[in-house]
Amino acid sequence: MDFDFTEAQQGFRQDVRAWLATNLPEDLRGRGFASSRGEPEKVVRLREWQRTLHKAGFVGMDWPAEYGGRGASLVEQVIFYEEMSRAQAPQPLNRSGLSMLGPTLMKHGTPAQRARHLDRILTAEEIWCQGFSEPNAGSDLANLQTRAVLDGDHYVINGQKVWTSMGHVADWGFFLVRTDPAAPKHKGLTFILVDMKSPGLTLRPLRQITGEAEFNETFLDNVRVPAANVVGKVNEGWAVALTTLAYERDVLTFIRHISLRTALHRLLEVARRTPRGGRPAAHDPVVRQKIAELLIGERCLQLHGYRSLTRILHGGAPGPEGSTSKLFWSQLDQDLAEVATHVIGPYSQIKAGHPLAPDEGQWEFYCLLARGSGIRAGTTEILRNILGERVLGLPKD
């Protein structure tokens, strides 16, 4: 791809920058870095923020215009994300809806499902969560046991999901359930849309290492869901789920890159102002080398993201090679957290709310949250297996 920006693209950058300077609320500035997004009052604020972004045409930048998106070019998207990072603005709240379910419905959904849901995803009127993982089906997702049985024109769902991020504030969830227990485990699965307020559906929050309870256990006890909510064909949900997972690992990682870049810029600022041996830590040769490694890694991640998105924009779909971005991002995210802890020292452990907490305690949150980066959206070991077997063609054993 051509890395030079045209005059029109430079103009777009100026427009986005000016818009963010005027419209990014003061209390959200710098909050794109690291802070809880699961607390109900934060959700209200971030929902409003997504609405504001949407009104300005900045949500669903990559969605086709027929589905309410901007149909933007890759370059425009990149410019937008770069400017969001520069302004340290939080991302749109409805991440699962925008980057996972939306593209899945565009590929596998019925016209009625698209008409019902896509617009409300863009405006954050309805927040989505992902109900895939179960206590015995995480990495081995196809092992899931939640059962759905057809009863008239409804499915009756019984079972348990776990690690449902944002489930407690979500309006809807996209679930993977077993509809044919006699079939081999990758067959007999169905992808279905569930109203999170359905009778029989209960949530129990799980407190995480960061102290927040952003994910949940989800219990389904005779939950009745219209059969019209099945996405794709009954018993062929695995193929639909693979679309969702590919977008989660590829496009969503591109967006996660914003937070990483923001964190890296903040780390540079911290290193410049934190004294070490009578001079700023940024002048320490060991710290400099570590930060340089992170900057190089961040650039590689960015270029790899451009390559994947270029392929998608040219009509391709995210494939197994998208797992490289997720794998590399999670490693870089954890390295960054480690370097930050090294630079800031014991102060990096002080929580938000204490006057001695650097960057309002966001480093404490970031460093703890990074522990999960190698687990969510596919663990590091599983992604290595996928890359080894499906991209490099290595033998399974």
Ligand X SMILES: Cc1cc2nc3c(=O)[nH]c(=O)nc-3n(C[C@H](O)[C@H](O)[C@H](O)COP(=O)(O)OP(=O)(O)OC[C@H]3O[C@@H](n4cnc5c(N)ncnc54)[C@H](O)[C@@H]3O)c2cc1C
From 214, 248, 360, 364, active-site residue: 248
| Tokens read off for 82 | 């770069």
* Separation of alpha carbons 165 and 313, rounded Å: 28
Bridge-partner residues for 205, per DSSP? 216
Stretch that binds ligand X, among 40-48, 258-266, 290-298, 376-384 (CB under 6 A): 376-384
Q: Interface with ligand X includes 372 (CB under 6 A)?
A: yes
Q: Interface with ligand X includes 165 (CB under 6 A)?
A: yes
If binding means CB under 6 A, how many residues of this protein chain bind ligand X?
A: 18
Q: How many other C-beta atoms are found inside a 10 Å radius of the C-beta of residue 312?
A: 20
Which CB, 97 or 358, lies closer to ligand X?
97
Q: Interface with ligand X includes 164 (CB under 6 A)?
A: yes
Which CB, 85 or 244, lies closer to ligand X?
244
Which CB, 262 or 373, lies closer to ligand X?
373
Report the C-alpha dihedral over residues 153, 135, 144, 141, rounded to 10 degrees.
130
CB of 50 to ligand X, least distance (A): 18
| Tokens read off for 47 | 């929902």
Which CB, 77 or 96, lies closer to ligand X?
96
Q: According to CB under 6 A, which one of 215, 254, 329, 363 is a site residue for ligand X?
A: 215
Cα angle 83, 87, 92 (rounded to 5 degrees) comes to 75
The single-letter DSSP state of residue 5 is P
Bridge-partner residues for 178, per DSSP? 147, 189
The single-letter DSSP state of residue 24 is S
Stretch that binds ligand X, among 4-12, 119-127, 159-167, 326-334 (CB under 6 A): 159-167
Q: Interface with ligand X includes 376 (CB under 6 A)?
A: yes
> Is residue 248 annotated as part of the catalytic site, yes or no?
yes
* Separation of alpha carbons 219 and 167, rounded Å: 11
Going residue by residue from 77 to 116, which x/- string records binding to ligand X, judged by CB under 6 A?
Answer: ----------------------------------------
> Based on C-alpha coordinates, what's the Rg of the chain?
21
CB 185 within 8 A of CB 234: no
Among 234, 203, 226, which residue's Cα sits nearest to residue 157?
226
Which CB, 117 or 290, lies closer to ligand X?
117
Which CB, 249 or 290, lies closer to ligand X?
249
Beta strands 172-178; 128-131: pairing state: parallel
Q: What is the DSSP string of 149-217?
A: EEETTEEEEEEEE---TTGGG-SEEEEEEES-TTS-TTSSEEEEEEETT-TTEEEEEE--TTS---EEE
CB of 245 to ligand X, least distance (A): 9
CB of 173 to ligand X, least distance (A): 9
CB of 1 to ligand X, least distance (A): 32
Which CB, 133 or 190, lies closer to ligand X?
133
Stretch that binds ligand X, among 63-71, 231-239, 288-296, 381-389 (CB under 6 A): 381-389
Going residue by residue from 121 to 140, which x/- string records binding to ligand X, judged by CB under 6 A?
Answer: --------xxxxx----xx-
| Tokens read off for 237 | 């949900």
Question: Residue 247 to residues 192, 194, 257, 308, 320: CA-CA distances in angstroms?
Answer: 18, 20, 14, 11, 10
CB of 135 to ligand X, least distance (A): 7
Query: Measured at CB, which residue is nearest to ligand X?
Result: 138
Residue 93 one-letter amino acid? L
CB of 187 to ligand X, least distance (A): 20
Stretch that binds ligand X, among 77-85, 223-231, 318-326, 375-383 (CB under 6 A): 375-383
Residues that bind ligand X (CB under 6 A): 129-133, 138-139, 163-165, 215, 372, 375-376, 379, 381-382, 385
By annotation, the residues acting in catalysis are 248
